Amino acid sequence: MRILFLGDVVGRTGRDAVGAALPRLRTALAADLVVVNAENASHGFGLAPDMARALFAAGADAITLGNHAWDRRELIPYIAETPRLIRPLNFPPGTPGAGSVVVPLPDGRRVMVLNAMGRLFLPPLDCPFRGTAVELAKHRLGGDVAAIVIDFHAEATSEKMAFGHSFDGQVSLVAGTHTHVPTADHQVLPGGTAYVTDAGMCGDFDSVIGMGKTTATERFWHQMPGERLQPADGPATICGVLVETDDATGLARRIAPLREAGRLAPAWPGV
């Protein structure tokens, strides 16, 4: 199986870039499954239902969120009726939506997609490690699900790495999101799980993690809130990873970075 995972979509420039490129990328990379993190798609804060619909229409099989999940209130009723849009599973019980989904593929295979959020330097949610273990116990990799993909939305690299090693051999991919900068540590861990600390963002890199650099920089200089942050609107770089899994076990054979257009050096994962 070939899995394409795209990092945080930031603002209109990120949405437009992903929406335009995804049909072509899906075909060129022969992707069986596409997962997109879109928690920053709406002006950098949250996701609106019409934006989610557009990403699904472009070819996303599942959309994940993060700490900005509820910044657009109109998403609350939409997520309750849209199983393929998932929020971090370690929000408290009773929170709208779900933290995992099993996506059926056209060829009959099923893939489990999970979203969890770290707790270091982020809101103190329930334990993402224990919550993920509970969800994984419901399905068997290489059995009733052909692959398992986890978006771990976290700030600290140490927490992300600990999470990846914790579930090595149990899932196909652990992809970190949230920090918006693509890391170069993509690897297949010893147990067979593909891992990357951060998949990067789909947005304008002439910015401060996707936001306009002038306003963001002034906050550091003056320690004052200043104007509301707005997404940078220059050409977007599309960032993500492509993972190939073994059909028998569901574990990863390889992971390769994808970077296309925009300012960063390109990286093409091949076919």
Question: How much is the pLDDT for 198?
Answer: 98
- Examine the pLDDT at 270 and tell me if it is beyond 90: no
Residue 269 lies in a domain: no
State the pTM of this model: 0.97
Q: What does the pLDDT look like over 231-248, one tens digit per residue?
A: 999 999 999 999 999 999
Taking the alpha carbons of 44, 50, 52, 56 in that order, is the dihedral positive or negative? Answer: negative
Q: Out of 43, 68, 153, 222, which one is annotated catalytic?
A: 68
Cβ neighbourhood burial of 108 (10 Å; 0-12, 13-18, 19+)? exposed
Residue 226 has pLDDT above 90, yes or no: no
218, 192 contact by CB (below 8 A) = no
Q: Could you give the strand order of the β-sheet that contains 252-260, starting from the edge strand earlier in sequence?
A: 85-86, 62-64, 33-37, 2-6, 238-245, 252-260
Q: Is residue 265 domain-resident? A: no
Find the domain containing 116 and state its range.
2-260
To the nearest 5 percent, what fractions of the chain are helix, strand and coil?
Answer: 25, 30, 50
Q: CATH number of the domain that 54 lies in?
A: 3.60.21.10
Q: Which two tokens stand for residue 111?
A: 């893939």
* Tally of structural domains, the chain: 1
Rg (alpha carbons) of the chain, rounded to whole number: 17
- 190-213 pLDDT per residue, tens: 999 999 999 999 999 999 999 999
> Does 270 reside within a domain?
no
Share of the chain above pLDDT 70, in %: 100
Q: Which residues contact 202 (CB under 8 A, 6 or more apart)?
A: 6, 7, 8, 9, 10, 14, 17, 18, 236, 237, 238, 239, 240
Catalytic annotation present for 153: no
Q: Is residue 170 part of a domain?
A: yes
Strands 252-260 and 238-245: antiparallel
* pLDDT beyond 80 at 83: yes
Is 266 part of a structural domain of the chain?
no
Asked whether 163 and 118 are in contact (CB, 8 A), the reply is: yes
Please give the sequence-ordered ranges of beta strands (E in DSSP) within the chain, or none if there are none: 2-6, 8-9, 33-37, 62-64, 85-86, 100-104, 110-117, 147-153, 173-177, 187-188, 194-196, 201-202, 238-245, 252-260
Supply 41's token pair: 């798609």
User: In this predicted model, what pLDDT tens digit does every residue of 126-167 receive, in sequence order?
Assistant: 999 999 999 999 999 999 999 999 999 999 999 999 999 999
Mean pLDDT of 81-85: 97
- Backbone φ and ψ for 157, nearest 5 degrees, come out as -65, -35
**Pairwise CA distance, residues 128 & 124, whole Å:** 10
Within 10 A of 233 (CB to CB), how many other CB atoms are there?
Answer: 15
Residue 59, in any domain of the structure: yes
Task: Quote the CA–CA distance of 27 and 24 in Å, as a whole number.
Answer: 5
Residue 141 lies in a domain: yes
Distance CA 257, CA 5 (A): 10
267 within domain boundaries: no
- pLDDT in the model for residue 224: 85
Query: What is the structure's pLDDT at 7?
Result: 98
Is it the case that residue 109 has pLDDT exceeding 90?
yes
pLDDT of residue 4: 98
Check pLDDT > 90 for residue 271.
no
116, 153 Cβ separation under 8 angstroms: yes
